[in-house]
Amino acid sequence: MKIHGYEINPIHDYLWEIPRQGGMRVPGRIYTSRKMLEKFLAEDESIRQVVNVAHLPGIQKYSLAMPGIHWGYGFPIGGVAATDVEEGVISPGGVGYDINCGIRLARTGLEYQAIAGKLEKLVQNLFQNIPTGVGSSGAIQKQSAKEIRKILEKGSEWAVEHGFGTPEDLEFTEENGRMSQANPEAVSKRAIERGLDQAGTLGSGNHFLEIDVVEEIFDPRVAEAFGLFPGQVVLLIHSGSRGLGYQVCDDYLKIIMQASHKYGFTLPDRQLTCAPIQSKEGQDYLGAMAAAANFAWNNRQIIMDLARRTFKQTLNLSDRDLDFRLVYDVCHNIAKIEEHEIDGRKKTVCVHRKGATRAFPPGSEKIPAAYREVGQPVLIPGDMGRYSFVAVGTEKAMQETFGSTCHGAGRVQSRKKALKAGKGRDLIAELHKAGVVIQAKGKRTIAEEMPYAYKDVADVVEIMHQAGVSRKVARLRPVGVIKG
């Protein structure tokens, strides 16, 4: 099959390969189905970005894409690439502007009947207590620049130290909520200024807080390990590093753009601008990116605890009766130094995951001890009108994708097209009819994020399940949503 002039051949029904050509250092590989290839990639030029990423110096094995793939800055959203830590490069386009945008799943001991009569009030109170939208601020007291630097260093630990959650939450957060290589000194004054009043804020666009009900269990053993049961009320939080992370990306794109010229890299797209990992520019970016990632983990930790307090207050429950606990927090816009087996030997690489989720297998020491028999939780949100999924990582992910899987549905309509499609429709009423109570800053955001703007996440999750990269554990149905 040819798409946009590129030959793409099936490895099996759910994996397709673009052979090396021109300056490609490795083949491109896309996890998808024939139906998705013909329906979506023929209309979207993100396949060209998979090819472009394959030109990066030091790239290992493949330029990879998950089934939620769509056009992004430099890398496609849904792109994964690992580069040799000694001879390879780091590219901010492989992380994106919203550094450590990620998903957090908390569970309660409640069944849906316990909240049904107070659902609208619960959604209203969550919307009131958790600031949302562009430039949102004020969840907690505005911090000084000195305190922001502590957040950049400590991540979720800062939130727990200040009464937002418990030490147990850190155990169930990727990297324990803190990347140790964070370097607050590599973060600009402007980036810090943008973060002064944004700790504990949800942001806008596709970020959300969602009350869900566990609708179906696919793997009872793994679901039990994660503490999930049918009919259970759970909470999904999708947010990132806000304006601070955006500024870090913007700052380093300019710095590394100059570095690319200095190091003599020739790449097919200037948005793939990169620097050697071991260079000053590369190390500074890694330190700043890790600091922004810590800001994001701290952000989600505070939001979760504000939500816990809101549940208690609205439902008039004790901590014991609510039984609110973090299942896991995983990021999907990050670059991390990890060890993987390549050509039969262990190698240290920098894994870029942009719109892709870590999916480590049973036995991994990088996941909580409570989950080591079953594997790492993988959290895959859909759109606010249908469903989201919990999955689990596998050994095949380590063999094929550097321990990575899909992160969500992936857009099929731009925000502009989605707005046009929603013109004249009562979208709030449509969601209400589907059983979803929503609170948002404005109708524009609702239109941009309606289900018709996205692929069906069930198809995306099924592809990775059939490919054996991640396995389905549970399906969640949204009943209450707040958005910016």
Which pTM was predicted? 0.94
Residue linked to tokens 């430099």: 74
CA distances 400 to 31, 371, 421, Å, are 11, 22, 38
The residue assigned the tokens 């816009």 is 333
Cα torsion through 205, 295, 130, 426, rounded to 10: 10
The per-residue pLDDT for 71 is: 92
- Check residue 137 and give its pLDDT: 65
- Residue identified by tokens 């630097």 is 149
Show Cβ contacts of residue 442 under 8 Å, excluding neighbours closer than 6 positions: none
Q: Which domains are delineated in the chain?
A: 2-94 (no CATH), 102-483 (3.90.1860.10)
Active site residues: 407
Q: Identify any residues that bridge with 438 across adjacent strands, giving them in sequence order.
A: 481
Given a contact cutoff of 8 angstroms between Cβ atoms, the answer to whether 189 and 217 are in contact is no
Q: Residue 425: its pLDDT value, please?
A: 79
Cβ 76 vs Cβ 29: under 8 Å: no
CA distance 238 to 357: 13
Q: Which residue has the tokens 């009569």?
A: 117
CA distances from 96 to 197, 277, 361, 404 (A): 22, 17, 26, 17
**CA dist., res. 419 & res. 398, Å (int):** 39
Distance CA 45, CA 400 (A): 24
State how far the Cα of 351 lies from the Cα of 231, in Å rounded to an integer. 37
CA-CA distance, 469 to 173, in Å (whole number)? 21
| Amino acid code (one letter) for 14 | Y
**C-alpha distances in Å from residue 473, one per residue of 66, 314, 364:** 19, 30, 18
In three-state secondary structure terms, 449 is coil
Question: Distance (Å, rounded) from C-alpha 360 to C-alpha 10?
Answer: 25
SS3 7: strand
Predicted local distance difference test score (pLDDT) of residue 440: 85
Axis crossing angle, helix 145-154 with helix 280-315, rounded to the nearest 10? 100
Single out the residue of 91, 109, 441, 154 nearest to residue 296, CA to CA.
154
pLDDT tens per residue across all 484 residues of the chain = 888 888 999 999 999 999 999 999 999 999 999 998 888 777 788 999 999 999 999 999 999 999 999 999 999 999 999 999 999 999 999 999 999 999 999 999 999 999 999 999 999 999 999 988 666 666 777 889 999 999 999 999 999 999 999 999 999 999 999 999 999 999 999 999 999 999 999 988 788 999 999 999 999 999 999 999 999 999 999 999 999 999 999 999 999 998 777 898 989 999 999 999 999 999 999 999 999 999 999 999 999 999 999 999 999 999 999 999 999 999 999 999 999 999 999 999 999 999 999 999 999 999 999 999 999 999 999 877 789 999 999 999 999 999 999 999 877 677 777 777 677 677 778 888 878 999 887 777 777 776 677 778 999 999 999 999 999 999 999 999 998 7
Residues 6+ apart with CB under 8 A from 450: 383, 384, 385, 418, 421, 422, 427, 430
CA 63 to chain centroid, in Å, comes to 19
Q: Tell me, what's the pLDDT at 424?
A: 67
Helix (H) or strand (E) holding 276: strand 275-276
pLDDT number for residue 185: 98
- Specify burial of residue 318 (Cβ count, 10 A radius: 0-12, 13-18, 19+): exposed
pLDDT confidence of residue 133: 66
Task: Match 């911090």 to its residue by tokens.
Answer: 143
